[in-house]
């Protein structure tokens, strides 16, 4: 039976979709996959319930689950990639290019080396690529990344005390806005809502959808509602606990819980 899974290629590569044919693959498995030229490797991060595109023929295949020999080759590639970083840094210095090298990685079959770097502007690295191609006798790819990608590459622990979302399960970076923090009643202090990359935390985005859905069934802050104790103003909302703090006309406040349907507490 055919099924589609999302695979994050290599350590810091993009997430792509692949077909499983007569192969039992589970989330978390490391696999060898078909690539544009030869083979590559990655980790299965999720199953796709519905075909994200119309044609199955557009997907490449998962060749096999990674074996011990495959794992040994990947480890060997990582060692060689570390050496390639040092060589590339030396050449960047020689060419006096305004760029910061972040990391490098080999494709599984060693047909390509990918170098990741950050820079404040576009860089003409054609001569650098030619020089590296002469040294390594294989295809060289330079990828300019942002600060979020840099955090994903290096990994780390977020303010929540858990490994970074971008380095574990997030497939791609989605726009994050200050409105999302406001909807979740978070303090608008940059140090409280920013990740180690210095940008707004990615979790604000995917948690925002849950908050937005929960808030649909609750009154808004500033709204006046009728209660058995009289008319009151909503001054605080906790959507996760389905609670609200009400202020009555006599300045008395009370914390109440809302049922799934607002039957007793109505506008």
- Kindly indicate the confidence band of residue 265, based on its pLDDT and cuts at 50, 70 and 90: very low
Average of per-residue pLDDT values in the chain: 85
Range 178-199 average pLDDT = 85
pLDDT of residue 17: 86
- Kindly indicate the confidence band of residue 258, based on its pLDDT and cuts at 50, 70 and 90: confident
* pLDDT exceeds cutoff 50 at 63: yes
38/42 Cα distance (integer angstroms):
14
Q: Which of 6-20, 86-100, 144-158, 195-209 ranks highest by mean pLDDT?
A: 86-100
**In the chain, % of residues over pLDDT 70:** 91
- Kindly indicate the confidence band of residue 100, based on its pLDDT and cuts at 50, 70 and 90: very high
pLDDT of residue 77: 93
Range 66-76 average pLDDT = 93
* pLDDT exceeds cutoff 70 at 54: no
89/119 Cα distance (integer angstroms):
14
Q: What pTM value is reported for the model?
A: 0.67
More confident residue, 63 or 148: 63
Specify the DSSP element, H or E, that contains 87: helix 68-95
Mean pLDDT is lowest, of 103-107, 110-114, 213-217, for 213-217
pLDDT of residue 266: 46
* pLDDT exceeds cutoff 50 at 242: yes
Task: Report the alpha-carbon angle 215-217-220, nearest 5.
Answer: 55
* pLDDT exceeds cutoff 70 at 34: yes
257/243 Cα distance (integer angstroms):
4
pLDDT of residue 261: 45
More confident residue, 152 or 123: 123
Q: At what angle do helices 68-95 and 126-136 cross, to 10 degrees?
A: 130
- Kindly indicate the confidence band of residue 263, based on its pLDDT and cuts at 50, 70 and 90: very low
More confident residue, 68 or 146: 68
Domains identified in the chain and CATH numbers = 3-66 (no CATH), 71-145 (3.30.300), 150-214 (no CATH), 219-267 (2.30.30)
Sheet architecture: strand order including 139-144: 100-106, 112-118, 139-144
Range 108-137 average pLDDT = 93
């Amino acid at each position: 039976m055919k099924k589609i899974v999302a695979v994050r290629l290599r350590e810091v590569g993009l997430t792509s979709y692949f077909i499983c044919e007569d192969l039992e693959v589970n989330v978390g498995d490391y696999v060898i996959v078909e690539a544009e030229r030869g083979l590559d490797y990655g980790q299965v991060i999720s199953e796709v319930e519905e075909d994200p595109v119309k044609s199955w023929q557009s997907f490449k295949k998962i060749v096999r689950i990674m074996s011990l020999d495959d794992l040994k080759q990947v480890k060997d590639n990582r060692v060689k990639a570390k050496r390639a970083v040092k060589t590339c840094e030396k050449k960047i210095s020689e060419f006096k290019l305004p760029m910061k090298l972040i990391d490098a990685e080999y494709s599984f079959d060693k047909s390509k080396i990918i170098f990741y770097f950050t820079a404040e502007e576009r860089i003409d690295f054609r001569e650098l690529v030619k020089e590296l191609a002469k040294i390594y006798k294989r295809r060289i790819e330079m990828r300019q990344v942002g600060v979020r990608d840099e955090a994903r590459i290096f990994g780390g622990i977020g303010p929540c005390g858990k490994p970074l979302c971008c380095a574990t399960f997030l497939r791609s970076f989605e726009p994050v806005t200050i409105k999302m923090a406001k909807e979740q009643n978070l303090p608008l202090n940059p140090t409280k809502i920013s990740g180690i990359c210095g940008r707004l935390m990615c979790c604000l985005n995917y948690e925002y959808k849950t908050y937005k859905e929960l808030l649909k069934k609750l009154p808004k802050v500033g709204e006046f509602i009728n209660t058995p104790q009289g008319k009151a103003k909503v001054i605080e909302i906790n959507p996760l606990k389905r609670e609200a703090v009400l202020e009555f006309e006599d300045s008395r406040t009370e914390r109440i819980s809302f049922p799934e349907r607002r039957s007793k507490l109505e506008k």
